[in-house]
Amino acid sequence: MAAHTENHGKSFLKSLIVNNKDIPAMPFIVLGLILCAVGAVAVVTVFVKGHHESYGVTRQVPWGLLISSYAYFVIISTGIAFIGGLGHAFGYEKYAKISKRIVVLATIVLLAGFTQILMEIGNPLRMVYMMISPNFKAPIFWMGMFYGIELVILAFELYLIFKPNQTESDHKLAAVAGFLALLVGVLATSNLGYVFGSLNARDWYHGIYFSTFLVVSGVTAGAALLILVHNIVYKGSLPEELKPSMLSLGKLMGGGIGVMMFLYLWKMLSSIFTEPGDAYMSVMALVSGPLAFNFWIGEMLLAVVLPLALIVTAKGSVKKLSLAGFIFLIGLFFTRFDFVVAGQLPPMREGFPGSGVVTDALGLAMYSPSALEWLVYMFGFGVFFLLYFSAEKFLNLETESHH
């Protein structure tokens, strides 16, 4: 009996592992290994030197690059899971056709995000302490809880999609799991926005704006990454049966950018007309202050204008949509960074001599990420490249039709 079980396990693994020679995965795997190696050195350095000595954050700006990169990865993951839920749970055929790749991609991007928050909190054991001694009134506890549940759901989906000889009940379970991934993903991302929105001492964050904006931009980014990955995997020549899926994702990305523009407009206007409040100072930091380059080039040009122009003029070109997605994902980094940092730049008290508060000529607090912060950020990308393109290389991520 034991021998039979062992043979069954071996046959399952043998059926699972393939060697996809046509997929250009090796350059990305090598890049991932390099980034992981460099990032690992940074991680060890941070543990040796300590959080305070390693990062550029201060008492005035305690949230920096790693909070931004955490938000960048995990919100893309839940955006991908949202799209997967539309295919799995609601039967949207264009997304159901790529459901395997969706689940694998969402899971690995989420893991990349977890590397960032584990390095941000200083001691990874604090995550364990939060679980065994929870504060149910704290939004940040629910953020961790929802993302943890999301990972469990995605892991269960992975089991279902790679299970051999799938039955009708397996497909029904996958539909339920897809719906739960969609639901919990929206809760996790909107709750992440509420972690900031609940801070009534910080005018830029306070309210429901970021809970809404993060969900919309996450789904948009999920569509962008899916288009980009498919173009890489198929070297720009997608099978005809997948082109409708990519065109649909392109429309979703374009619609998402349109909604983001609408939200941008009213957030900026409502903040400008709170002069001389902190939200006004945050907007000025973005428009004409230390974050002006990030805002105009990163957010407006790369995350809005260029990708939207490419989508509008794509006329069915998946390569153009892929380029739009690539540019958008670069711009999205600036969006996340500005979102986190801008709200902290207005000082909580005046920078008088002896106060310990350091401000610039505009009266704003200052923050610049350290080299170690950038390397930890690169470590997250290394984890993504290594794990995802290894999956592309050694797993069959083509979704079999079961209709």
Buried b (16+ CB within 10 A) or exposed e, 135-148: eeeebebbbbbbbe
Q: Give dist(CA 369, CA 58) in Å, integer.
A: 11
The DSSP secondary structure of 52-68, one letter per residue, reads HHHS---SSS---HHHH
Distance CA 315, CA 124 (A): 48
**pLDDT over 90 (residue 167):** no
Q: Which amino acid is at 208?
A: I
pLDDT at 3 over 60: no
For CA atoms 233, 238, 242, 248, give the dihedral sign: positive
- Total-model pTM: 0.93
In tens, the pLDDT along 131-142 reads 788 888 888 899
User: Residue 338 region, left (φ>0) first, then alpha (ψ -120 to 50), else beta?
Assistant: alpha
Give yes or no for residue 274 having a pLDDT over 80.
no
Query: What are 352-380's pLDDT values in tens digits?
Result: 666 667 778 788 989 999 999 999 999 99
**Span 238-253, average pLDDT:** 95
Of the chain, the percentage scoring pLDDT greater than 90 comes to 69
> What's the confidence (pLDDT) of residue 217?
97
